[in-house]
Amino acid sequence: MQRALPDLTITPPVAGEKVTLVLHADGKQYDLPVLGGTHGPKVIDVRRLYAETGYFTYDPGFLSTANCDSAITYIDGDRGILLHRGYPIEELAAHADFLEVCYLLLYGKLPTPSELADFGYVIGHHSMVHEQFKRFFAGFRRDAHPMAVMVGTVGALSAFYHDKIDITDPEARMVSTHRLIAKMPTICAMAFKYSLGRPFMYPRNDLSYAANFLRMAFGIPAEPYVVNPVLTRAINRFLVLHADHEQNASTATVRIAGSSRANPYACVAAGITALWGPDHGGANEAVVNMLEEIGNKDRIPLYIKRAKDKNDSFRLTGFGHRVYKNYDPRAAILRESCHEVLAELGKTDEPLFALALELERIALDDDYFVQRKLFPNVDFYSGIMLRAIGFPTAMFPPLFALGRTIGWIAQWKEMIEASDQHIARPRQRYIGEAIRPYVPIAER
> Residues with Cβ < 8 Å from 318, sequence gap 6 or more?
283, 284, 286, 287, 290, 376, 377, 379, 380, 381
Q: What is the CA angle 382-384-385, rounded to 5?
A: 65
CB of residue 243 vs ligand ACO: minimum separation in angstroms? 12
Stretch that binds ligand ACO, among 31-39, 103-111, 228-236, 317-325 (CB under 6 A): 317-325
CB of residue 309 vs ligand ACO: minimum separation in angstroms? 9
CB of residue 286 vs ligand ACO: minimum separation in angstroms? 7
Binder of ligand ACO out of 154, 157, 252, 378 (CB under 6 A): 378
Cβ closest to ligand ACO, residue 203 vs residue 383: 383
CB of residue 222 vs ligand ACO: minimum separation in angstroms? 37
374 binds ligand ACO, rule: CB under 6 A: yes
Binder of ligand ACO out of 297, 315, 325, 339 (CB under 6 A): 315
Our answer to whether residue 166 is catalytic in this structure is no
Report H helices in 277-350: 283-294, 300-308, 329-344
CB of residue 272 vs ligand ACO: minimum separation in angstroms? 14
372 binds ligand ACO, rule: CB under 6 A: yes
The strand pairing partners of 20, in sequence order, are 31
Binder of ligand ACO out of 280, 335, 387, 413 (CB under 6 A): 280
Our answer to whether residue 379 is catalytic in this structure is yes
Annotated catalytic residue: which of 97, 244, 321, 328?
321
Measured CA to CA, the distance from residue 285 to residue 289 in angstroms comes to: 6
80 binds ligand ACO, rule: CB under 6 A: no
User: In this structure, are residues 87 and 199 in contact, taking their beta carbons and an 8 Å threshold?
Assistant: no
Measured CA to CA, the distance from residue 161 to residue 405 in angstroms comes to: 17
Cβ closest to ligand ACO, residue 88 vs residue 277: 277
Nearest partner of 265 among 151, 136, 154, 417, judged by Cα: 154
Measured CA to CA, the distance from residue 12 to residue 408 in angstroms comes to: 27
Measured CA to CA, the distance from residue 441 to residue 240 in angstroms comes to: 60
Binder of ligand ACO out of 322, 325, 339, 347 (CB under 6 A): 322
Stretch that binds ligand ACO, among 114-122, 136-144, 293-301, 370-378 (CB under 6 A): 370-378
Measured CA to CA, the distance from residue 252 to residue 245 in angstroms comes to: 10
The strand pairing partners of 88, in sequence order, are 83
Name the phi and psi angles at 240, rounded to 5: -60, -45
321 binds ligand ACO, rule: CB under 6 A: yes
Cβ closest to ligand ACO, residue 26 vs residue 312: 312
**Site of interaction with ligand ACO (CB under 6 A):** 279-280, 283, 307, 315-322, 372, 374, 377-379
Give the active site residues: 321, 379
